[in-house]
Structure 1
C-alpha cells in the first residue's frame, strides 16, 4: 500500500465506520441508538467525556463562534459558517462549513479552562483543514467530472430505493472535507505533488478563479491514490436489507462509466439506519467494496 496521510484515513474511517470513543454511560438508550437516515440531523452525537463541556459550550456559543471564525480567517484565509458545537473531554469541537467559492466542511477545537473558554487557543487537528481545502480544490478542478458523478447518483436515488444522508447532518457532525449526501472525498497535500501548487495558490488568494486553480494543478503528477471517493447510500425503507442487485449495478457502473473523476472509489450500500452517537452508517449487514479492493480509475 502506498504511503497515505494518517489524517485522511482517520477521517474516512470515522465517517465510514462511525468509530468514536464512547462515554461510560451513553446519552441515548441502547434501544434507540439508531435513526432513519432521512431523519438524522446530528441529534445524539457526542464525543468522549463531553457531556459537561456541552453545557459550557452552549452557554458560551457566541464567544466560541467568534473565536473559531477568527481562527479560520487568520490561519487559512477562509470565512466559515459555524453549524454545531459538541463538547469533548477538554473543550468543544466546532463543526463549520466554508463560505466562498471553495466548498468544504471541517472542524476546529477550542479548549476550556475549567468553565472558562480559552481565547486565542483554537486549533485544528494536523492536516484536517488542509485536506478539506484540497478536497474542495479537487471538486473545483474536476468540476465537469464531478458534475457527471453527481448526475449519476441523483439518477440512482431517483430510480432506485436508496437515499443519502441529510445535508443538515453533514454540517452538524460531518466535518470531513468535501461532502454530499451521497459521497465524500478524501485527499491531502502530503505527498500529493499534483494538488500542492493549487493549495498554495489558495492560501495566497482564496478568491482565485477555478481556471487559475486548474492552471496551478500539476496534472502530470496526479496519482489516483491521492483522490479517494467514498460513495455511501442507504436503503429507503426502514426494514429493507441492502440490495445486492443495486450494489452490483453501482460498482459495475463506477468501474465502466466514462467522464467521472479519476481516482480511487469505495462503494457502500447500507440499511436505512444511522448511528446517532457516531454518525456511522456501515454495519455488519452493509455491502461494501473498499480497501484493499477499491475501484481505481486512472
Structure 2
C-alpha cells in the first residue's frame, strides 16, 4: 500500500476508502426544521474520544453482508486466521467484523511475533448467503506495510520507547488525550498504531527496511539482532517513513489547545533520541466520527504536508 492510500485510511477514515456510509438523510416531514434535523444528525454522529470503542463503525451498503457474516462468525474468523497464517506466517486475533458491499471487512491484531493492526476482506455470495473462505484477500500492500511498521518498531525499540514516554508525559501533564485501545482494535486496521500515534511506511519503496522485511518473511522467528543487522541505514529516506501524532482534547466542547500544539511541535523538532523520519502532528477537539474513526476536522491544529518535521 502506498503512503497516499495509508494517509487516506488514517487521515480521512478507513471507511471512506472502503466505501464509508453516514446517515445524512433529510427530515421526513415530522415537523422538525430540515436544517436543525441535519445539524442534530451530524452532532449525534460524533462521540467523545474517551468513549469511542469502534461501535457504530459502518461501511457502505454493508447491512445485509454484516448480518450474514455475524451468523457465520466462526467460519469468517477461521478463514481470516488461515489467510494470515498461510500468506504472512502471522497469527492474528479477530476483533471486529463489518459488512461491506460485497462481503465482510475483518479487523485483526497480530499476536506473534510482531505487533500491528490490519484487516482482510472476506467475499460473501449474497444469493445463497455463502462465505467464500477460499477467496479471502487483503488490500494491495496493506499487510506488507503493517509488517514493515512492526519491524521498524522492533529494531528501533529504544527510540520508539522514548517517543512513547514523551507522549505519555504530555497526556499526563496537559489537557489532551489519545484514542482508546479498543477503537484501534475494532476500527483502526492500519499497521502499527498506539493511542497517540501511528506509522506510515511501505516496504516496496523503502530500500532501507526491505532487507529486514525479506529476512523476516523467510523466518518470522529470526532474532532482533539479525533483523537490526540487515537494516540498510545508508539507504534510509525520511520522507518514506512517517510518524503521525494524533492528540485530542480531554474535555468536551473544547477547541484544540494552541499552546499544547506549539509545545509538541517544538519538542518534536528539538528531540534527537526519537525515531528518524517525517513527523506530522495533529491536535483535535474531543470527538471522533463514529462511522469512520475520523478525528481530524476543520478546527484541528496541524503541522503536516508540506510542512512536516523531518528528522534525519
Q: TM-score, normalised by structure 2?
A: 0.91
SS class of match (1:95): strand
User: Matches of 1:123 and 1:219 in 2, distance apart?
Assistant: 32
Which of 6, 17, 38 is the equivalent residue of 1:11? Answer: 6
Summarize the alignment of residues 179-198 of structure 1 with structure 2, pairs less than 5 Å apart: 179-198=193-212
User: Matches of 2:22 and 2:42 in 1, distance apart?
Assistant: 12
Contact 2:21–2:291 (Cα < 8 Å) also in 1: no
User: Matches of 2:108 and 2:251 in 1, distance apart?
Assistant: 31
Q: CA deviation at 1:239?
A: 1.2
**Are positions 1:259 and 2:270 aligned together?**
no
Contact 2:22–2:291 (Cα < 8 Å) also in 1: no
**More deviation, 248-257/206-215:** 206-215
User: Matches of 1:121 and 1:181 in 2, distance apart?
Assistant: 33
Larger-Rg structure: 2
1:93-131, CA deviations, whole angstroms, 9 ceiling, x for partnerless residues? 000000113110000000001111112110001000000
User: Matches of 2:70 and 2:24 in 1, distance apart?
Assistant: 20
Which of 67, 83, 91 is the equivalent residue of 1:55? Answer: 67
**Are positions 1:137 and 2:151 aligned together?**
yes
Contact 1:14–1:280 (Cα < 8 Å) also in 2: no
User: Matches of 2:293 and 2:21 in 1, distance apart?
Assistant: 15
SS class of match (2:134): coil
Structure 1 pair 26–60 and aligned structure 2 pair: CA distance change class (3 A): farther
1:246-294, CA deviations, whole angstroms, 9 ceiling, x for partnerless residues? 1110001111112000000000000000000000000000000011110
SS class of match (1:278): coil
**More deviation, 117-126/18-27:** 18-27
Name the structure 2 match of 1:120.
Answer: 134
Q: Root-mean-square deviation (CA), in Å?
A: 1.5
Summarize the alignment of residues 108-257 of structure 1 with structure 2, pairs less than 5 Å apart: 108-114=120-126, 115-257=129-271
**More deviation, 199-208/9-18:** 9-18
Q: CA deviation at 1:22?
A: 3.9
Name the structure 1 match of 2:100.
Answer: 88
User: Matches of 1:69 and 1:37 in 2, distance apart?
Assistant: 30
Contact 1:82–1:95 (Cα < 8 Å) also in 2: yes
**Are positions 1:283 and 2:278 aligned together?**
no
Contact 1:264–1:294 (Cα < 8 Å) also in 2: yes
Q: CA deviation at 1:52?
A: 1.1
Name the structure 2 match of 1:33.
Answer: 45
Contact 1:17–1:283 (Cα < 8 Å) also in 2: no
**Are positions 1:69 and 2:64 aligned together?**
no
**More deviation, 147-156/14-23:** 14-23
1:179-220, CA deviations, whole angstroms, 9 ceiling, x for partnerless residues? 000000001111211101110111111111211110111111
User: Matches of 1:22 and 1:77 in 2, distance apart?
Assistant: 30
Where in structure 2 are there 5+ consecutive unaligned residues?
A: 26-39
State the number of aligned residues: 293
Structure 1 pair 206–121 and aligned structure 2 pair: CA distance change class (3 A): same
1:18-75, CA deviations, whole angstroms, 9 ceiling, x for partnerless residues? 2614447469943310000000000111111111111111101100000000000100
Structure 1 pair 42–24 and aligned structure 2 pair: CA distance change class (3 A): closer
Contact 2:255–2:285 (Cα < 8 Å) also in 1: yes
